Amino acid sequence: MFERLFASRKKPFVPNRDKLETLTANLSGSRFSISLPPNSVPDINEEYYGPRIDIYNREAYDDLSRGKWYQEGRMPGQSIIKRNWGFYGPPWISMEYGFVTLSIRIYRVDDIPEGMSCFNPSNFEQVILRDLYFQYGPANINSWPSLTPINWEKKTINGNDWLYCEAYRKCTEAEVQANPFNEAMFSSQLYTPLDDQYFIDIYFNAIGYAPANYSITAMNHLMSDIYSSLNLELSPAMQQRKREVIQQFPNSKFSDTRNPEPWIYHEFRESDDESGEDPFVIVKKGTPPPKFTPQ
């Protein structure tokens, strides 16, 4: 509580930030762990589906069979962990300044062409761009247009390679002036493969506050502390499979940098509640999902 007396927007207070809990999961033989502060948003439930996850159990994944046309090609996922943290000021300000949500999910790439593998970096980059399209691009018609990938880079964390990138709301200067909080809304993600058709996504979503530079700095500090604790050891079978793919494609690598995707978003209208239509009706299609290109 003493620490909270001196909390501010520049240095917000996160309850029990140093009291880390290490969560582990056996992912069909691959061992995963991450160390997290306790959930500090009482009104939002946390999720933890460990310690054993069968990544090959198809019934555990999202059922996308009834999806809309603009979701065709989306990759089904299943959750492992979800946790939330509030950022607070001094005790006399009861409401949180902002929030960070961590969501860890496993995804299955059903339509990856034969001969392609998530263990091949250039192939996996295509998988990631496809995931970004469905999370932030034209297929996600319920969210704001986004700029992504931002700060694209490969990170080696505790001996394992992860692909990192961020996404920010695409806001005009007028929108930022009208609501400075818009500038502080962002996400960051880390990806790494588990098998030829499976990967894990470490997803942070930040609902920030103004001034945005204080919020982004404080929230990134917490996120980097958390993802520095990531540990993933592939099963012996998957380590062998990864070596085989790397030997087959020794020159394959991630792009060193990437510019934000130049998506054109769908144009849509809201439907009449009594018409029986979907809540949103596409009137003009934008950019389609990226296609896989074997390399």
Residue 64 has pLDDT above 90, yes or no: no
Where does the chain have alpha helices with state H? 2-5, 121-136, 173-178, 212-227, 236-248
Residue pair 197/118 in contact (Cβ under 8 Å)? The answer is: yes
Residue 134 has pLDDT above 90, yes or no: yes
Can you name the residues that pair with 268 across neighbouring β-strands?
A: 282
Q: Mind listing the pLDDT tens digit for each residue in 76-97?
A: 999 999 999 999 999 999 899 9
The pLDDT of residue 241: 98
Q: Where are the domains of the chain?
A: 2-284
Q: Mind listing the pLDDT tens digit for each residue in 113-128?
A: 999 999 999 999 999 9
Residue 278 has pLDDT above 70, yes or no: no
The pLDDT of residue 273: 63
Strands 21-27 and 52-53: parallel
Q: Quickly tell me which residue has 């009137």 as its tokens.
A: 283
How many Å apart are CA 26 and CA 17, to the nearest integer? 26
How many Å apart are CA 197 and CA 15, to the nearest integer? 38
pLDDT > 70: what percent of the chain? 95
Q: Mind listing the pLDDT tens digit for each residue in 247-259?
A: 999 999 999 999 9
The pLDDT of residue 276: 61
SS3 164: strand
Confidence grade of residue 36 (pLDDT, cut at 50, 70, 90): very high
Residue 272 has pLDDT above 90, yes or no: no
Confidence grade of residue 154 (pLDDT, cut at 50, 70, 90): very high
The pLDDT of residue 188: 97
Q: Mean per-residue pLDDT for 118-144?
A: 92
Question: Which comes out higher in pLDDT, residue 146 or 178?
Answer: 146
Residue 279 has pLDDT above 70, yes or no: no
Exposure class string for 146-160: b at 16+ Cβ within 10 A, else e? bbbbbebeeeebeee
